[in-house]
Structure 1
Amino acid sequence: MRRVLLLSAYRADSHAYWADWLQREFEEFDWQVLELPGRHFAWRIRGNPLSWLDALPAEKPDLLLATSMVDLATLKGLQPQLADVPSLLYFHENQFAYPLSDDQVRSVEPAMVQIYAGLAADRLLFNSAFNRDSYLQGVASLLARMPDHVPGGIAQRLRKKSSVLPVGVDPIEPARDKDRRLVLWNHRWEYDKRPELFVEAMLQLADRGVDFRLALLGARGRNPVPALELLRRELPDRIVADGFPPKDEYRSIVSRAGIVVSTAAHEFQGLSILEAVSAGAMPVVPDALCYPEQFPERFRYESGDPDSLATYIERLLSPGNARAPDVQDWSAARVRERWRKALSSLAE
């Protein structure tokens, strides 16, 4: 049985979903998994080779599968037994296209980790073309700003070994009691998802007298979220779900939604949107990021514009509108064999 060493330096959200799915799905491999908790970002992306210094299995793997949070170049330098092991680097996101909060300072270090890791890997996989293209453009742009001694064609070298392979989505069966006027938010309540735009659009719709209900899902931190507090205060009678429920309850609520909304400032694949659309919800998403790859123009509003967002939602709430688009190409069933081929080709 071929041994695969899976390294995930930031177990959170799609990283965890992906790692667990691979282990469940491909039992023909002997999985050895090392993961670090999804917190302390700056330390994780620079410190993971040190965190794993004495933790690697003694037996040499046939394939090294690492997420792009892993400092693969340093890891191989500190672990000589891994130097010639075929390596696949998987990008859930890239640091060139990740927005900063008001409390963060842009540092070149996370981006450089992903350049070195890309050069050290035999193959790069991305969960969307947007992710791949923004990474390669970011590499070229960053290196063009360096003062001297930059080899030519780094982005081209990386492009030659890059391809797109999304995380497989487990579809959700549409509920029999589907509520076409139930508007779903199923994202983290954090700055990069821009919940304040969603709330502004919902308040506009209420002012216009539009009939709708709200399911407010997604993780929220310990501190109050001003946008969420405003929505609770202004539209309490419209909220039918509010929380971050266990998986089965979450999928049950999602299965009933008629519309799912994104206001994200960054999205590299958008698993939560794809899940909801698989259950028959119509997406209302920015005309940017990964979404043009996934959804027709009629579901994409002007990014960052709450007026445009409200107008699109109101239109989809009108009688006789289109059905949800087909997202089967992102289903686990559709991508399974592509993943098997990717893993097998390097692990032989």
Structure 2
Amino acid sequence: MCVLLIEAFYGGSHKQLMDLLQEELQEDCVLCTLPAKKWHWRARTAALYFMQTVPISPNYRILFASSVLNLAELTALRPDLGKLKKVLYFHENQLVYPVQKYQERDFQYGYNQILSWFMPEHKLAHFEKVIGVKRNGDACQTVGLPSQQKCRALMKTSNAASKSELCEAQPRLHTTQHEGLPSALIAVTRLNKSEASESTNPCPEEDKQHLTFNLSNTLSGQDYQQRPLHIVWPHRWEHDKGPETFFEVLLKLKEKDLPFHVSVLGEAFSEIPDIFSEAKKALGSSVLHWGYLPTKDDYFQALCMADVVISTAKHEFFGVAMVEAVYCGCYPLCPKALVYPEIFPAEYLYSTPEQLFKRLQNFCKRPDIVRKHLYKGETAGFSWAALGSKFRSLLAAEPKEDL
């Protein structure tokens, strides 16, 4: 088997997945990428670029790509690739992706996705037979997305958990984090084979804020149990992650003189919502970290230092950063919407910003509540140890198979 990996937006969780597959498949794959810039142009023109740059080879058997690529265009431009078995991975659904401004939606991106995953009945039946995917009326899901929605967590937690030490250490992370933090840090920073999450990818050079995480400086002269609640928001600095809701809640806590610290991590692009600069100024001394952390060890340490991880996303297929934070001992609070109810138990979900505020208000008053809490959900199923064999089956094809 030879797998052709194509990623038109090689950054964030897109990069993590491709790097993981390349590492696991090793000599059995060829990786072709474009930088993670100008997303809309990647979606419109990547097929033309890859038509010219993907090497011609008789050894390819499977083509694996993310849905940023217009797969229909590429296979039309390169008939040799059209003969391959194709696996298309959806990181998001462009038909319902939230628009930033009140204007007519550009349906081209959703249309590209429809063209790319439309499959005739006999191929749907073939997929159901080979990998056990059950059809439920959603054409997108018939191309492997039931498992893919759950397997997006393979990005960072996946490769790490394959060593078994993370699976075994997971309960310990949630207890020793509050009793002897350095041991938890050691356990997490062992995950050196994992790729950085969407929250550790570098910003454009002009926007980078290289903040080195210093554990001793943060804890010096202050007992861990006595310090204020530490809230972390580890997401891309874009509108679909709902930063306005997050900062509105924090500023409301600030107005009530409730003690807390906050770390706002994540990747920033050329256009950063104004709320970030406004909120940083308003939050003042409550800010511990602001922006991109230069290494994955710094990022993991920041997560281990935090007590609560928040999502305010408006659009989410999985939420890698949230699962990573749970692995590092954070108490998750997520919207009772999108994919979150499939992953997190009900006690970690909120329905309105007011509910989120009330939860955080209580935690600010009693941070020991979350520091003693043991996570009640299950994350082992998102590891590469659990999903690796399924991906290998998906990426297996006989040379003479009728696809």
Q: TM-score range by the shorter chain?
A: 0.7 to 0.9
2:156 paired residue number: 170
The more displaced of 165-174 and 94-103 is: 165-174
- C-alpha distance 75-198 of structure 1, shift in aligned 2 (>3 A): same
Is 1:310 equivalent to 2:361 in the alignment?
Answer: no
Q: Is the 8 A contact 1:65 1:87 kept in 2?
A: yes
1:64 paired residue number: 63
2:348 paired residue number: 299
CA deviation map 1:103-161 (0-9, x unaligned): 76412221111111102596799xxxxxx9xxx99xxxxxxxxxxxxxxxxx6666544
Aligned pairs, number: 319
- C-alpha distance 238-160 of structure 1, shift in aligned 2 (>3 A): closer
1:206 is displaced (CA, Å) by 2.4
Q: Partners of 1:187 and 1:320 in 2: how far apart?
A: 25
1:257 is displaced (CA, Å) by 1.1
2:263 paired residue number: 215
2:319 to 240, 252, 270: 270
Is 1:206 equivalent to 2:204 in the alignment?
Answer: no
1:282 paired residue number: 331
Q: Partners of 1:341 and 1:249 in 2: how far apart?
A: 35
CA deviation map 1:210-265 (0-9, x unaligned): 32211111123456643222332222221111220122211111121110001111
Q: Partners of 2:339 and 2:139 in 1: how far apart?
A: 23
Q: Is the 8 A contact 1:182 1:213 kept in 2?
A: yes
1:70 is displaced (CA, Å) by 1.5
1:41 is displaced (CA, Å) by 2.6
- C-alpha distance 295-156 of structure 1, shift in aligned 2 (>3 A): closer
1:332 to 374, 378, 384: 384
1:87 paired residue number: 86
1:342 paired residue number: 394
The more displaced of 114-123 and 336-345 is: 114-123
1:94 is displaced (CA, Å) by 1.6
1:97 is displaced (CA, Å) by 2.3
1:316 is displaced (CA, Å) by 4.2
1:101 paired residue number: 100
Q: Partners of 1:233 and 1:119 in 2: how far apart?
A: 48
2:13 paired residue number: 14
- C-alpha distance 159-215 of structure 1, shift in aligned 2 (>3 A): closer
1:186 paired residue number: 234
Q: Is the 8 A contact 1:64 1:85 kept in 2?
A: yes
Identity %: 29
2:109 paired residue number: 110
Q: Partners of 1:107 and 1:276 in 2: how far apart?
A: 34
Q: Partners of 1:248 and 1:49 in 2: how far apart?
A: 36
1:35 is displaced (CA, Å) by 1.1
Q: Partners of 2:81 and 2:273 in 1: how far apart?
A: 44
2:374 to 292, 307, 323: 323
Q: Partners of 2:340 and 2:316 in 1: how far apart?
A: 8
Give matches, 1:23-62, under 5 Å.
23-27=22-26, 29-60=27-58, 61-62=60-61
SS at structure 2 position matched to 1:188: coil
Higher relative contact order (CA 8 A, sep 6+): 2
The residue identity in structure 2 corresponding to 1:195 is P
1:54 is displaced (CA, Å) by 1.8
1:231 paired residue number: 279
Q: Partners of 1:300 and 1:269 in 2: how far apart?
A: 14
Q: Partners of 2:22 and 2:111 in 1: how far apart?
A: 30
Q: Is the 8 A contact 2:334 2:348 kept in 1?
A: yes
Q: Partners of 2:72 and 2:272 in 1: how far apart?
A: 40
Q: Partners of 1:338 and 1:41 in 2: how far apart?
A: 29
Q: Partners of 2:139 and 2:279 in 1: how far apart?
A: 48
Q: Partners of 1:224 and 1:69 in 2: how far apart?
A: 22
Q: Partners of 2:398 and 2:18 in 1: how far apart?
A: 18
- C-alpha distance 252-120 of structure 1, shift in aligned 2 (>3 A): same
Q: Partners of 2:245 and 2:310 in 1: how far apart?
A: 11
SS at structure 1 position matched to 2:84: coil
1:240 paired residue number: 288
- C-alpha distance 156-188 of structure 1, shift in aligned 2 (>3 A): closer
The residue identity in structure 2 corresponding to 1:264 is A
Q: Partners of 1:231 and 1:15 in 2: how far apart?
A: 29
Q: Partners of 2:88 and 2:359 in 1: how far apart?
A: 38
Q: Partners of 2:254 and 2:22 in 1: how far apart?
A: 45
The answer for unaligned runs of 5 or more in structure 2 is 128-132, 158-165, 185-223
Is 1:197 equivalent to 2:245 in the alignment?
Answer: yes
2:72 paired residue number: 73
- C-alpha distance 306-91 of structure 1, shift in aligned 2 (>3 A): same
CA deviation map 1:181-225 (0-9, x unaligned): 210011122211121111111122223333221111112345664
SS at structure 2 position matched to 1:7: strand
